[in-house]
């Protein structure tokens, strides 16, 4: 049994994509699970975007590329804010003829160029592409998914021609930046929504690989900034998630163990008892 999700999020997972006009659907971005979807936004207005270890102040029209594996947040600073957004999963994008992973794209990868400044001429051209995607999304055309994938490709290719914005602020030192990225990436792995979708990142090495740094460097940075080891942070977060699942679902211990990345229920029981001093069954209400 899955944990309760919004209707919007459930429909988005089933389709694998959604495209919408921001001023007509301003609440939609609050309802989806960011860890599952890539995001492309064409927006006009004043905003501040925090992406991994960088912050960006934008005024005018920009094109933003969000990677589900890289933490980001968005502050809207102006009262007038318009544009378009498309959300799509890796599975949706690669189910066509695409074999290249999106994570290798300079637009989506860590250290890439996720924010582009857009001229008025470019804005009008990109507007037309988003509008065509919205029309296809609402149509009954049998191959509309393929057509939408082609429109996504067109946006990506046009974007690769553009120069990245240079208005980034990097005020934190290396250890603080890396620790911030790690902590936000850790939090983005939760909540665990179904026993059929277990945690993908379970160890310090998993996180280091995902962040493209050596595990020893990650460990030193996290310990220096927080006073705790990377493994301690991961264990504490998994423990909190285990408690939430025990108290709010009817999943059995085997399902919980698998969902949290444990090969056997006994491993989970031993882990939980070591972390809390009690058994999982004693927490269940």
Torsion of CA 279, 281, 284, 285, to 10 degrees: -120
How far apart, in whole angstroms, are the C-alpha atoms of residue 132 and residue 144? Answer: 11
For the cut 90, the answer to whether the pLDDT of residue 85 exceeds it is yes
Q: Which pair of structure tokens corresponds to residue 82?
A: 């318009």
Please answer whether residues 22 and 44 qualify as being in contact, where contact means their C-beta atoms are separated by less than 8 angstroms.
Answer: no
Helix boundaries (H) for the chain? 7-15, 90-94, 120-137, 144-160, 174-187, 204-210, 215-226, 230-248, 253-259, 265-276, 280-283
* Chosen domain end from 162, 197, 226: 162
Q: Is residue 47 part of a domain?
A: yes
pLDDT value at position 108? 82
Cβ neighbours of residue 55 under 8 Å, at least 6 residues apart? Answer: 48, 49, 168, 169
Looking at per-residue pLDDT, the higher value among 91 and 54 belongs to: 91
pLDDT value at position 130? 97
Looking at the structure, tell me whether residues 122 and 184 fall in a common domain. no
* Chosen domain end from 129, 162, 195: 162
Looking at the structure, tell me whether residues 154 and 187 fall in a common domain. no
Q: Is the preceding omega at residue 191 within 30 degrees of 0, hence cis? A: yes
Q: Is residue 168 part of a domain?
A: no
Q: How many CA atoms lie within 13 A of 84 on its CB side?
A: 18
Predicted confidence (pLDDT) per residue in 159-194, tens digit? 988 866 555 554 457 788 888 889 888 988 888 888
pLDDT value at position 67? 84
Average confidence score pLDDT of the chain: 84
pLDDT value at position 255? 95
Pairing of strands 17-21, 54-66: unpaired
pLDDT value at position 12? 78
Looking at per-residue pLDDT, the higher value among 67 and 97 belongs to: 67
Q: Is residue 145 part of a domain?
A: yes
pLDDT value at position 1? 52
Q: Is residue 96 part of a domain?
A: yes
Looking at the structure, tell me whether residues 98 and 19 fall in a common domain. yes
Predicted confidence (pLDDT) per residue in 197-244, tens digit? 899 899 999 999 988 889 999 999 999 888 899 999 999 999 989 998
pLDDT value at position 82? 87
For the cut 80, the answer to whether the pLDDT of residue 43 exceeds it is yes
Looking at the structure, tell me whether residues 58 and 192 fall in a common domain. no
Q: Residue 20 pairs with which residues in a beta bridge?
A: 85
Section 36-42 average pLDDT: 90
Q: How confident is the model at residue 253 (pLDDT cuts 50, 70, 90)?
A: very high
Predicted confidence (pLDDT) per residue in 91-143, tens digit? 898 876 655 667 667 888 766 678 899 999 999 999 999 999 999 999 999 99
Cβ neighbours of residue 273 under 8 Å, at least 6 residues apart? Answer: 279
Looking at per-residue pLDDT, the higher value among 79 and 178 belongs to: 178
Helix (H) / strand (E) element for 60: namely strand 54-66
Residue 232: phi, psi to the nearest 5?
-65, -45
Looking at the structure, tell me whether residues 155 and 15 fall in a common domain. yes
For the cut 90, the answer to whether the pLDDT of residue 86 exceeds it is yes
Please state the pTM of the whole predicted model.
Answer: 0.62
pLDDT value at position 26? 46
Q: How confident is the model at residue 271 (pLDDT cuts 50, 70, 90)?
A: very high
Domain CATH for 142 = 2.60.120
Looking at the structure, tell me whether residues 198 and 70 fall in a common domain. no
Domain count, the chain: 2
Domain of 98 in residue numbering reads as: 7-162
């Amino acid at each position: 049994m899955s944990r309760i999700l919004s209707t919007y999020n459930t429909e988005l997972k089933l389709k694998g994509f959604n495209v919408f006009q921001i001023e007509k659907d301003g609440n939609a971005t609050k309802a989806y699970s960011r860890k599952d979807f890539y995001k492309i936004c064409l927006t006009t207005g004043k905003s501040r975007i925090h992406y991994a270890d960088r912050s960006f102040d934008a005024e005018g029209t920009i094109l933003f590329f969000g990677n589900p594996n890289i933490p980001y947040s968005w502050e809207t600073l102006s009262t007038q804010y318009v544009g378009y957004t498309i959300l799509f999963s890796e599975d949706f994008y690669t189910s066509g003829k695409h074999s290249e992973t999106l994570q290798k794209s300079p637009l989506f990868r860590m250290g890439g160029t996720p924010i582009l400044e857009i001229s008025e001429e470019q804005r009008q051209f990109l507007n037309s592409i988003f509008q065509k995607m919205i029309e296809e999304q609402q149509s009954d055309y049998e191959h509309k998914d393929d057509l939408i994938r082609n429109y996504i490709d067109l946006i990506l290719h046009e974007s690769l021609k553009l120069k990245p914005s240079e208005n980034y602020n990097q005020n934190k030192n290396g250890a603080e930046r890396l620790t911030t990225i790690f902590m936000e990436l850790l939090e983005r792995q939760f909540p665990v929504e179904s026993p059929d979708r277990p945690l993908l990142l379970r160890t310090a090495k998993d996180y280091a690989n995902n962040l493209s740094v050596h595990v020893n460097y990650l460990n030193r940075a996290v310990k220096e900034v927080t006073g705790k080891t990377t493994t301690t942070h991961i264990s504490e977060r998994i423990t909190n998630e285990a408690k939430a699942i025990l108290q709010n679902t009817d999943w059995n211990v085997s399902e919980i163990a698998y969902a949290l990345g444990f090969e056997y229920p006994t491993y989970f029981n031993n882990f939980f008892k070591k972390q809390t001093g009690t058994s999982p069954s004693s927490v269940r209400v």
